[in-house]
Structure 1
Amino acid sequence: MRATRSALIVTLAASLTATAPATGTAPAQAQTQAQAADGVYYLQSVTTGLNAGVSGTSVLQRRPKGDEDRQQWTLTGRTLREGTQCLGRQADQAVVMACTSPDAQWDVLLDGDRHRLKVPGVDRHLIASGTDQVRIGTGADRWYLTPVSPQRVPVPVEGERRLDQVTFLTTHNAYANGVDGGFAPPFVNLAPNQARGIEQQLRDGVRGFQLDIHQTPDGAILCHNSCTWVSRPVALWVDVQRIVDFLNRNPNEFVTVFLEDYVSAAVLRSELARVNGLANVLFRPDQAGVRTNGWPTLNTVRANNKRLMIFTDHGRSGDSPQRDTFGVMYQSEWTVENYWSMGSGLGASDWSCHSRWATPLNRTEPGFRPLFVMNHFRDVPITGTATTDNGKLADRARRFCEPAARKTPTYLAVDHYHLGNPMAAVQALSGERF
């Protein structure tokens, strides 16, 4: 953390106070003309979710990478400094230059919770044009000035927390555990992602389950890539039944299932129809008015006994029947998710935090905040590496992924959840939110 939290809070409060009307409602134009507060920020494109970062003398769009990749800018008045130089303009290109240059001056204008970086005196702005290079043009792209040292706020008491104010421990490839059954050809079964079965995972506090399903003559089967030659295969309905039975025994718990989904909608519907009691506990955010009213509290879902949410990564386009008609939500409509791999099973890791999908991690809608799925695992689930990585989970969330998404993760997905104490990160992040 570079800037002191107290100083940043004071300057942010001063900026908001300066832009608030004394009485009545200020004209919209006046509300957008306030200068942003001084501080240390990530300059993040609203359109792409990428950060402006320095490479040589150029300013490029870079994957958010905390304090490791020249992406932190110190705003002082009308200049944005990185190192010893400032963000400036050279023709249509964004570059870094001497901070005393007139071309390093900007009107940094507040626009709701976003900003426009305007060239003084002319109708030209800093824009993210869809290329790596940050440019100057006639568009009015919006940017987030995301504090490097953000204000974090305490959450309400447990039952009064909304679902987007809770963090859940989540297991990557939860079915690939070497306990419940086979999940891949025998030689791949030697490298499971988890070491405990689904029922033990539930007892240990896991509340999110990432499952791969493939279509076979037997229905929707849990396996990696292909179910050919899998010994002792497990059907999806079997694990969902385990979860529903757990929820019936534990009326205060909430669970989410994420499907990497390679089956037809008809097969998936038939598979879930085999689960006794599923309809009683299935939570439907589309029917609960989440898009207009926000996510419900834990007390609300408990009172309604709607405590299991199922997502699919399958696309809606051309899907028949539409999966959400039988309660399986299209994940891209309700969550954001970072790219899944931190690198191979050995060696250095890539902790940058960028979207797995086309939509940026910082996506929001009026009145609605998508839940944030934070993936934190490697290509190959080596136990020693997972132990080290899981011990650094909270640090990566706070320094890399929270600023990238502008929200605290709702789901922390890891390999070998029993190693490295990832539950400590869950508890730390549940105590206060970005």
Structure 2
Amino acid sequence: MRASRAPLFAVPVIVAALVAGPAVTVRAQQTPVAPPEGLYYLQSATTGLNAAATGGRVAQHRPRGNSDHQQWWLHAGGDAYTLENTDSPGQCLGRTGDSPGLVACGGDGAGWDLAGAGPDRYALKDPGADRYLTVAPSGDTYADALALGPDGDLARWYLTPLVAPKSPLPPESLRTLDQVTFLTAHNAYANGVDGGFAPPIVNLFPNQNRGLDQQLAEGVRGFMLDIHQTPDGAILCHDSCTLVSRPVALWVDLRRIVEFLRQHRTEIVTVFLEDYVAPDVLRAELARVPDLAGLLLRPDVEGVRQRGWPTLGELRQRDKRLLIFTDHSRADDESAGLTRDSFGVMYQRDWTVENFWSMGPGVGGSDWSCYSRWYGGGVNIPLTRTEPGFRPLFVMNHFRDVPVPPTITTDNGKLADRAERFCEPAARKKPNFLAVDRYDLGDPGSAVDLLNTYRYAGMIARRAGSPG
């Protein structure tokens, strides 16, 4: 299943004097919404992918921090703006004939008109023609190469600062759910303590090595669980439950969580289900756990999409301290005649964004790029997704295909760095769930602690009556 958390460190804010990089020329329209000069990622509001210099062309690539030629200097000069690529000084994002490309920053085709085009969004227009920098449809996704085309949604861009804009968090009880970060155990059930989770060979590679009760006691507050359907109901296991010795049923782990919440009245827990069971089977599992239904937070019936997420204080006061998500398809459930949200299990794609789950194999180099798990195959939910009044929760996966302890220790030690330098800019929001293998290795808790010292100040969805 999913990800990890580890210590973060802040990226220095004073970088302008160190980089004499390329710029993109954008026509300066005297507008109060124009961003200040500085270093930015140029992100498509449609895909969440970044404009990157690649040879003499410009294409959208997966966000990859300070690598892959994705950073741009925004310069305002006279009546134009330019975007200069930091890896190619003097080369700007401009126009070569009918296509975007790298051009000399002082030459023709480098300047753009830059205009606000919605909350935090901009349009880059050719000053000499009615055409805009845009992404282009290609099959069921979008082409890598950028294009010049008509104005519209595909021509909307974010200028995301390299260093996350931060502001102080409110007092703990006044923090909304989307302002908080939780330590999350990827495949929390695959621990070799509570029971079997895979056939014998795979059992040699547990994602965790402590049972669920100990995970709860040690501060884990997000739990990723894979469930498969068997004659005995919803069982926790990898891929197939065949040959699993001592399998554990979902309701058993849910009962552990509910008992913990009853004993610890201020704690809040989230469960993520990688879900391969029929909706009636899942409903029956939940019904076996006393008091579970009363604890469930139901954002679908509480106006979260209109008002934003509730505060921690509100959740505690109302005793709504358990949130359950499924990655199952709503469309499939509708065709089956029973939706999971009808009994309190929320569809994850409605309420969260999530980066692709794997950083690579168990050993060797890691892929730290941060891009949506739900992009392609007719699905497009960018990490940057937001709505008026509502910001999805951000699940940040930080783990590999195979949990190898030495690799995990190294990766978890870099969790904070990846979160702040790679994933926060990619999502334009702070991770709410840092999902890791072996949370006992590499001190991922320090990354959680660091993220819980500030609020990402960009694109903050306001709740009715809240200060922002």
TM-score higher than 0.5:
yes
Helix, strand or coil for the counterpart of 1:102? coil
Q: CA deviation at 1:122?
A: 2.2
Equivalent residue, structure 2, for 1:234: 248
Equivalent residue, structure 1, for 2:454: 432
1:350 aligns with 2:360: no
The whole-number CA distance in structure 1 between the counterparts of 2:33 and 2:181 is: 35
Equivalent residue, structure 2, for 1:330: 347
CA contact (8 A) 2:96 2:103 kept: no
Q: CA deviation at 1:69?
A: 1.1
Q: Which of 199, 214, 217 is residue 200 of structure 1 equivalent to?
A: 214
1:20-35 mapped onto 2 (5 Å cutoff): 34-35=33-34
1:125-146 Cα deviation digits (max 9, x unpaired): 0001120001111233100000
The whole-number CA distance in structure 1 between the counterparts of 2:75 and 2:12 is: 15
Seen in structure 2, the aligned counterparts of structure 1 residues 36 and 119 have a Cα distance that, compared at 3 Å, is farther
The one-letter code sitting in structure 1 at the alignment partner of 2:263 is R
Helix, strand or coil for the counterpart of 2:332? coil
The whole-number CA distance in structure 1 between the counterparts of 2:150 and 2:31 is: 17
The one-letter code sitting in structure 1 at the alignment partner of 2:305 is R
Seen in structure 2, the aligned counterparts of structure 1 residues 119 and 34 have a Cα distance that, compared at 3 Å, is farther
CA contact (8 A) 1:4 1:149 kept: no
Q: Which of 120, 135, 139 is residue 147 of structure 2 equivalent to?
A: 135
Q: CA deviation at 1:91?
A: 2.1
The whole-number CA distance in structure 2 between the counterparts of 1:417 and 1:31 is: 50
1:171 aligns with 2:185: yes
Q: Which of 382, 386, 397 is residue 360 of structure 1 equivalent to?
A: 382
The whole-number CA distance in structure 2 between the counterparts of 1:346 and 1:384 is: 9
CA contact (8 A) 2:133 2:147 kept: yes
Equivalent residue, structure 1, for 2:14: 4
Helix, strand or coil for the counterpart of 1:117? strand
Higher deviation after alignment, 201-210 or 33-42: 33-42
Q: Point out where structure 2 has 5 or more consecutive residues left out of the alignment.
A: 1-10, 18-28, 137-141, 375-379, 457-468
Equivalent residue, structure 2, for 1:125: 132
CA contact (8 A) 1:33 1:109 kept: no
Equivalent residue, structure 1, for 2:23: none
Q: Point out where structure 1 has 5 or more consecutive residues left out of the alignment.
A: 8-29
Q: Which of 87, 91, 101 is residue 107 of structure 2 equivalent to?
A: 101
The one-letter code sitting in structure 2 at the alignment partner of 1:45 is S
Equivalent residue, structure 1, for 2:267: 253
Helix, strand or coil for the counterpart of 2:331? coil
1:159 aligns with 2:173: yes
Seen in structure 2, the aligned counterparts of structure 1 residues 303 and 73 have a Cα distance that, compared at 3 Å, is same
Seen in structure 2, the aligned counterparts of structure 1 residues 6 and 68 have a Cα distance that, compared at 3 Å, is closer
Displacement over 6 Å in runs of 4+: 30-33
1:377 aligns with 2:399: yes
Equivalent residue, structure 2, for 1:57: 56
CA contact (8 A) 1:3 1:40 kept: no
User: Scaled by the length of structure 2, what TM-score is found?
Assistant: 0.86
The one-letter code sitting in structure 2 at the alignment partner of 1:169 is L
1:201-251 Cα deviation digits (max 9, x unpaired): 000000000000000000000000000010000000000000000000000
CA contact (8 A) 1:5 1:151 kept: no
The one-letter code sitting in structure 1 at the alignment partner of 2:267 is E
CA contact (8 A) 1:2 1:148 kept: no
Q: Which of 223, 232, 246 is residue 209 of structure 1 equivalent to?
A: 223
1:294 aligns with 2:308: yes
The whole-number CA distance in structure 1 between the counterparts of 2:123 and 2:230 is: 52
Q: CA deviation at 1:121?
A: 3.4
The one-letter code sitting in structure 2 at the alignment partner of 1:121 is G
The one-letter code sitting in structure 1 at the alignment partner of 2:418 is R
Q: Which of 93, 98, 115 is residue 87 of structure 1 equivalent to?
A: 93
Q: CA deviation at 1:108?
A: 1.6
The one-letter code sitting in structure 2 at the alignment partner of 1:122 is A
The one-letter code sitting in structure 1 at the alignment partner of 2:67 is E
The one-letter code sitting in structure 1 at the alignment partner of 2:50 is N
Q: CA deviation at 1:286?
A: 1.0
Q: Aligned pairs, how many?
A: 413
The whole-number CA distance in structure 2 between the counterparts of 1:298 and 1:249 is: 17
The whole-number CA distance in structure 2 between the counterparts of 1:414 and 1:107 is: 44
CA contact (8 A) 2:221 2:270 kept: yes
How many percent identity over aligned positions?
A: 62
Q: Give the root-mean-square deviation of aligned CA atoms.
A: 1.7
Equivalent residue, structure 2, for 1:392: 414
Helix, strand or coil for the counterpart of 1:86? strand
Q: CA deviation at 1:4?
A: 2.7
Higher deviation after alignment, 378-387 or 33-42: 33-42
CA contact (8 A) 2:208 2:439 kept: yes
Between Structure 1 and Structure 2, the one with more helix by share is 1
Helix, strand or coil for the counterpart of 1:104? coil
The whole-number CA distance in structure 1 between the counterparts of 2:343 and 2:95 is: 53
Equivalent residue, structure 1, for 2:42: 43
Q: CA deviation at 1:46?
A: 0.3
The one-letter code sitting in structure 1 at the alignment partner of 2:132 is H
The one-letter code sitting in structure 2 at the alignment partner of 1:263 is V
Equivalent residue, structure 2, for 1:110: 116
Higher relative contact order (CA 8 A, sep 6+): 2
The one-letter code sitting in structure 1 at the alignment partner of 2:223 is F
Q: Which of 335, 357, 361 is residue 340 of structure 1 equivalent to?
A: 357
Helix, strand or coil for the counterpart of 2:452? helix
The whole-number CA distance in structure 1 between the counterparts of 2:33 and 2:225 is: 48
Q: CA deviation at 1:92?
A: 2.3
Q: CA deviation at 1:2?
A: 6.8
Equivalent residue, structure 2, for 1:21: none
Q: CA deviation at 1:401?
A: 0.1
Q: CA deviation at 1:34?
A: 4.9
